[in-house]
């Protein structure tokens, strides 16, 4: 299964996302989910970013809306994408999509 998961909250979804398994696993950080890509919590990166083998994407428009940019990313493995890039990914790279 090629699974893309939209994460749009800062809290409460970590436990669920850690349990998901997929052959190809994409995590789309959108809305308040982008804080996982840009904040450290007591000096540590978010547990959301610690899933082995997952591809991480953060939506540029949602970063900018919140006063953040690519310069604030806490991990190099996160790729910043626009809405156009997001559409390409969900149409071409992921068979199933979930919204946490």
Partner 1 sequence: MADTKLLFLVQRPPYKSENPRLAITHAISYQTVDLFLEEGETVTPVLAFVGDGVLNCLKDQKSIQTYDTTSTETHVKNSLLLDIKVIVCKEDLERLGISHDRLADAADMGAESSINVAPFVEIMKEMETSKHLLCF
Work out whether 62 is an interface residue with partner 1 (CB under 8 A).
yes
Q: Residue 98 pairs with which residues in a beta bridge?
A: 5
State which of residues 1, 2, 65, 87 lies at the interface with partner 1 (CB under 8 A): 65
Q: Which residues touch 31 (CB under 8 Å, ≥6 apart)?
A: 8, 9, 59, 62
Query: Residues 27-56 vs partner 1: string with x where CB under 8 A?
Result: ----xx--x---xxxxx-------------
Distance CA 28, CA 8 (A): 8
Distance CA 73, CA 79 (A): 9
CB nearer to partner 1: pick between 10 and 22: 10
**Which residue ranges make up the site for partner 1 (CB under 8 A)?**
8-11, 31-32, 35, 39-43, 61-62, 64-69
């Amino acid at each position: 299964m090629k699974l893309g998961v939209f994460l749009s909250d800062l809290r409460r979804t970590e436990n669920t996302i850690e349990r998901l398994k997929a052959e190809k696993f994409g995590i789309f950080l959108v809305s308040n989910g982008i804080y996982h890509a840009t904040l450290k919590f007591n000096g540590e990166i978010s547990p959301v970013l610690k899933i082995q083998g997952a591809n991480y994407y953060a939506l540029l428009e949602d970063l900018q809306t919140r006063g953040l940019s690519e310069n604030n990313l806490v991990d190099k493995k996160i790729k910043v994408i626009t809405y156009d890039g997001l559409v390409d990914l969900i149409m071409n790279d992921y068979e199933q999509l979930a919204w946490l």
